[in-house]
Amino acid sequence: MLEFKTTSPEETFAFGQCLAKVLSAGQVVCLVGDLGAGKTLLVQGMAAGLDIQDAINSPTFTILNVYEASFPVYHFDLYRLEDAAELYDIGFYEYTEGDGLSIIEWPDKFPDQLPDEYLWIEINSDFVNNGGKVNERVIRISALGTAYEHICEELKQICPFLP
């Protein structure tokens, strides 16, 4: 497990830019954190790192937003889905097994439906109650699968926000 710490929204955005540098087409990133943790901000940083020009919003109501980088980027928010059959309807399995980069918010709603391998990122939510340090975020990253273990190694080399 890797741990990073950011102390401002700008740093979390910059962390997202770093993260984008080590990701590629066909990969899956799961992103967990309470409301206000900074998930959208992190995805905005990732999008900037991938040179995506569009405005990035949480796909809370659309469930999926698709962006074009040098490969497609699928940004999911599973929060409003109620059962796994809906994943099938939206093409979740085709996308996550496809050629794009999939970023999945609220993956913990459907732990059994996730691909075999992925990068798992948690942004802490202690910020509400950690002695008034409201801008501090701990970002914990773990890898499932060797490809993602390599990504963690690379991230450790290039990313400055180690605690």
Residues in touch with ligand ADP (CB under 6 A): 6-9, 11-12, 33, 35-41, 58, 135, 137
Interaction of residue 40 with Mg ion, rule CB under 5 A:
yes
CB 114 within 8 A of CB 98: no
Interaction of residue 44 with Mg ion, rule CB under 5 A:
no
Binders of Mg ion among residues 114 to 143 (CB under 5 A) are: none
Dihedral pair phi/psi, residue 43, rounded to 5°: -65, -35
Q: How far, in whole angstroms, is CA 120 from its chain's centroid? A: 8
Nearer to ligand ADP, 27 or 44 (CB): 44
Rounded Cα gap, residues 78 and 140, in angstroms: 20
Binders of Mg ion among residues 54 to 83 (CB under 5 A) are: 58
Nearer to ligand ADP, 129 or 146 (CB): 129
Q: How far, in whole angstroms, is CA 119 from its chain's centroid? A: 8
Q: How far, in whole angstroms, is CA 10 from its chain's centroid? A: 16
Q: Which residues bind Mg ion (CB under 5 A)?
A: 39-40, 58
